[in-house]
C-alpha cells in the first residue's frame, strides 16, 4: 500500500511505514535522464556539464528526470538548456512547478488536449481519446503521440475485468497520467483557466461564476447534481465540448432553484458539444440541448433510450448503444450518419432487424453486435470495415459481405448457430479469424488470406475440412471440439508457431511437414493415429487422451525440445521414447492452460 499522505497509511495502523526516497544512485539518475533526453547512454560533449547540473537539480526524483529529459529532447542549443536549468532551480521546491516547465513548447491545441486528458480522459480507451481529441482539435493520435513523447501521458495495456475464456488475449489500451502530472494540469485549470470542471466541487465553483459560463469547455457531473442558481439562467454553453454525466439512481429533494442534469440540458443549448458520455441515462429521448450536429462521440450504453435522432447527429463518428434494452431502432435513415466509424450494439435485445441500418453506414470501421435475435443476414457492409464481431446472433443465416471486405482485419462469429458457410476470398487484410459455437458451419473457404495470423475454430461441430494452405502468415492455429473434422491441411506454413487440437475426434492423421517455426503443439484427439514430420524447432510437446496414436515421426530429431507431457496415450510406451526425451522435465499437468492464458500477441 502506498500513498503521498502519511495520514492515510496511519489510519490502517500498519506495522511499518517506509519513506520512499528518490534515486540515490547517481548512475541510475544519469541513465534515466540521458535516455529520455538523448535516447542513448551518454550526452553530447557540449551538453555534458549542463546535463549534470540538471540531474542534480532534479534531486533524484524519477518523474522529474523523465519529464525534464523528454522536454529537452531534440534541443541542442546549450543556451536553451541553461535557461531550462534556471527555471528548474527557481521551482525546485515544488514538483508541480518543476513539471510545468515541460509544458513549454506545446502548441496551443496540444496544451488543450493535455488539459482535456487531465480532467476527463484518464482511464478511457485510446481509440475513444483519439476520437474525442480529433473532434475537438482536428487531430487525435498526433496529439496523443506528442504528449506521450514528452512523458506527460502513457498508454498502457489493460485486461478487461470481465474475464472471458475466448477473449483472454484481448487487451484494451487506456490513457494513464501520473498523479502529479494530472494535478499539475488541474491546478492550471483551477488557478488560471477556469474552463473545465472534472468533479462536482469544481463544477459548483465554476458554474456560480457567470463570467466563466460562456467559456466552459468541459464538464463532469452526476445526474443529480444541484446546479447553482446562476447556471439555471443560462440558455447556452457555447464553448462546451465535453460532457460526462455519471448516472446516480437516487432521488434527493432539493430547494426550489435546484435543477437536475436532464432538466438543465433540456433547456440549455450545447451546439459545440463533441463528446457526450452518459451511461445508464434514464431518458427515452436524447435531450434537445445536447443533440448537437457537432457531436463526434456518443456513449449512451445501458440507457433507456428508444430511438436515436440520426438527423441531428450528422457528424457522429463513434456510437456506443450497448445494453440499451429499450432501443428499437434509429429515428431515421442511417445514411445521414455518413461519418460513423465505430458502432457498438451489444445486448440491445429489442432492436428490430437492423440489417438496413447497418448496411447504410458506409464509413464504418468497427461493428460489434451481440444478442440481436432479429438479425438474419448481412450482405452489403462498408468496404472500410476493419473489425466485425457478431455474437449470439442466433437468427443470422448468411454473411455474404465477408467476401468483399478488403480492409477487414478481425472477424469474430460466436454463437451464430444458423450460419452454414463462410467464404473469405475478399478479405486479404484479415489477421484474426474466430469462429466459436457456429454449430451448423459446414464449409469454410480461405483460398488466400496472406495476412492471417490467428485462426480459432471452436465448437464448429459439422466442419469436416480445414485448409490453411493459403495462410502463409499464420502463427497460431487453435481447433477445439470440431467433432467431425477429418482433414486438416497445414503443410508448408513458414510462420506457424503454436498448434492446438482438442476434441477433434475424427481426425486420424496430422502432417507437420514444412513448419520450420513450430514451437508448441498440444493434441487431444481420440482417433488420431499418426503425427508426421515434427520439426526440429519444436520446444513443447503435449499429447493427451490420444487413444489410437501409434506413430509420432521425428521424435529423435527434436533437439530443441524443452518439455514434454504424454498422458493417456496407451499405444505409446515410455520406454520406446528416445533417451534425450526421457531426460526432459515433464510439463506440469496444467501446463497447457497456463500457456494458453498468456498473451500470444
Do 98 and 91 touch, CB atoms closer than 8 A?
Answer: yes
Q: What is the pLDDT of residues 148-196, one digit of tens each?
A: 988 889 998 876 655 454 454 456 899 999 888 898 899 999 989 899 9
CATH architecture, range 20-103: Orthogonal Bundle (1.10)
Cα(410)–Cα(434) distance, rounded to whole angstroms? 8
pLDDT (mean) for 227-255: 79
- What pLDDT was estimated at residue 62? 82
What spatial distance separates the first Cα and last Cα of the chain, rounded to whole Å? Answer: 32
Q: Using alpha carbons only, how large is the chain's radius of gyration in Å?
A: 29
pLDDT tens digits, residue range 382-436? 899 999 999 999 889 888 766 689 999 999 999 998 999 999 888 999 999 999 9
User: At residue 495, does pLDDT exceed 90?
Assistant: yes
Residue 327 and residue 348 in contact, taking contact as beta carbons nearer than 8 Å: yes
Average pLDDT on 305-328 reads 86
Return the pLDDT at 598.
38
The pTM assigned to this predicted structure is 0.83
Instruction: Tell me the per-residue pLDDT of 23-76, one tens digit each, with 9 for 90 and over.
Output: 557 888 888 888 888 888 888 989 988 888 888 888 777 878 888 888 888 888
pLDDT bracket for residue 258 (50, 70, 90): very low
Predicted confidence at residue 168, as pLDDT, reads 47
Whole-angstrom distance, CA of residue 474 vs CA of residue 144? 32
pLDDT at 94: 62
Give the CA diameter of the chain.
89
Predicted confidence band of residue 354 (pLDDT cuts 50, 70, 90)? confident
Domain range list for the chain: 20-103, 108-188, 376-468+480-488, 497-601
Class (C level, CATH) for 108-188: mainly alpha
pLDDT digits (tens, 9 = 90+) for 266-297: 888 889 999 999 999 888 888 877 778 899 99
Strand, helix or coil at 321?
coil
Please indicate whether residue 180 or residue 544 has the higher confidence score (pLDDT): 544
The cell 478488403 sits on which residue?
A: 406
| pLDDT score of 149 | 87
Whether 357 contacts 334, CB under 8 Å: yes
Please tell me which residue, 528 or 84, carries the higher pLDDT value.
Answer: 528
Amino acid at each position: 500500500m502506498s500513498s503521498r499522505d502519511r495520514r492515510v497509511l496511519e489510519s490502517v495502523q500498519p506495522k511499518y511505514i517506509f519513506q520512499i526516497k528518490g534515486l540515490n544512485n547517481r548512475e541510475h539518475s544519469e541513465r534515466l535522464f540521458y535516455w529520455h533526453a538523448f535516447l542513448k547512454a551518454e550526452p553530447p560533449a557540449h551538453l555534458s556539464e549542463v546535463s549534470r547540473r540538471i540531474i542534480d537539480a532534479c534531486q533524484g526524483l524519477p518523474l522529474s528526470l523523465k519529464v525534464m529529459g523528454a522536454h529537452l529532447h531534440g534541443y541542442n542549443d546549450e543556451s536553451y538548456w541553461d535557461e531550462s536549468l534556471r527555471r528548474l532551480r527557481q521551482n525546485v521546491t515544488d514538483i508541480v512547478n518543476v513539471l510545468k516547465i515541460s509544458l513549454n513548447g506545446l502548441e496551443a491545441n496540444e496544451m488543450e488536449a493535455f488539459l482535456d486528458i487531465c480532467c476527463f480522459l484518464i482511464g478511457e480507451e485510446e481509440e475513444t481519446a483519439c476520437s474525442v481529441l480529433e473532434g475537438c482539435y482536428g487531430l487525435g493520435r498526433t496529439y496523443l503521440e506528442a504528449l506521450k513523447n514528452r512523458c506527460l501521458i502513457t498508454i498502457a495495456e489493460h485486461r478487461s475485468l470481465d474475464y472471458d475464456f475466448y477473449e483472454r488475449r484481448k487487451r484494451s489500451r487506456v490513457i494513464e497520467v501520473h498523479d502529479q502530472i494530472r494535478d499539475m494540469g488541474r491546478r492550471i485549470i483551477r488557478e488560471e483557466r477556469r474552463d473545465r470542471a472534472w468533479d462536482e466541487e469544481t463544477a459548483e465553483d465554476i458554474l456560480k461564476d457567470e463570467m466563466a459560463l460562456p467559456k466552459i469547455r468541459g464538464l463532469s457531473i452526476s445526474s443529480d447534481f444541484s446546479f447553482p442558481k446562476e447556471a439555471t439562467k443560462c440558455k447556452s454553453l457555447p464553448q462546451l465540448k465535453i460532457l460526462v454525466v455519471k448516472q446516480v439512481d437516487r432521488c434527493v429533494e432539493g430547494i426550489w432553484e435546484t435543477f437536475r442534469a436532464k432538466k438543465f440540458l433540456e433547456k440549455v443549448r450545447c451546439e459545440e458539444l463533441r463528446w457526450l458520455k452518459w451511461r445508464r441515462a434514464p431518458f427515452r429521448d436524447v435531450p434537445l440541448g445536447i443533440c448537437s450536429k457537432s457531436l463526434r462521440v456518443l456513449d449512451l450504453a445501458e440507457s433507456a433510450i428508444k430511438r436515436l435522432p440520426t438527423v441531428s447527429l450528422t457528424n457522429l463518428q463513434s456510437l456506443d448503444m450497448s445494453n440499451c434494452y429499450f432501443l428499437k431502432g434509429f429515428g431515421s435513415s442511417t445514411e445521414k450518419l455518413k461519418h460513423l466509424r465505430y458502432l457498438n450494439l451489444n445486448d440491445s435485445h429489442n432492436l428490430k432487424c437492423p440489417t438496413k441500418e447497418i448496411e447504410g453506414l458506409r464509413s464504418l470501421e468497427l461493428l460489434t453486435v451481440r444478442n440481436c435475435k432479429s438479425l438474419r443476414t448481412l450482405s452489403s457492409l462498408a468496404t472500410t470495415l476493419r473489425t466485425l464481431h457478431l455474437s449470439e446472433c442466433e437468427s443470422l443465416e448468411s454473411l455474404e459481405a465477408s467476401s468483399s471486405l478488403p480492409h477487414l482485419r478481425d472477424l469474430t462469429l460466436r454463437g451464430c448457430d444458423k450460419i452454414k458457410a463462410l467464404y473469405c476470398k475478399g478479405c486479404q487484410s484479415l489477421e484474426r479469424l474466430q469462429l466459436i459455437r457456429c454449430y451448423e458451419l459446414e464449409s469454410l473457404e480461405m483460398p488466400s488470406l496472406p495476412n492471417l495470423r490467428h485462426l480459432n475454430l471452436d465448437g464448429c461441430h459439422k466442419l469436416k475440412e480445414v485448409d490453411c494452405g493459403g495462410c502463409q502468415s499464420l502463427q497460431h492455429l487453435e481447433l477445439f471440439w470440431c467433432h467431425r473434422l477429418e482433414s486438416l491441411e497445414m503443410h508448408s506454413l513458414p510462420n506457424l508457431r503454436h498448434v492446438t487440437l482438442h476434441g477433434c475426434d475424427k481426425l486420424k492423421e496430422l502432417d507437420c511437414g514444412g513448419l520450420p517455426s513450430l514451437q508448441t503443439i498440444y493434441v487431444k484427439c481420440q482417433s488420431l493415429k499418426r503425427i508426421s514430420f515434427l520439426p526440429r524447432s519444436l520446444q513443447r510437446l503435449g499429447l493427451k487422451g490420444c487413444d489410437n496414436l501409434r506413430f509420432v515421426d521425428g521424435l529423435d530429431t527434436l533437439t530443441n525440445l524443452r518439455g514434454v507431457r504424454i498422458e493417456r496415450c496407451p499405444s505409446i510406451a515410455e520406454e520406446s521414447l528416445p533417451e534425450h526425451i526421457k531426460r526432459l522435465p515433464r510439463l506440469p499437468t496444467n501446463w497447457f492452460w497456463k500457456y494458453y492464458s498468456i498473451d500470444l500477441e
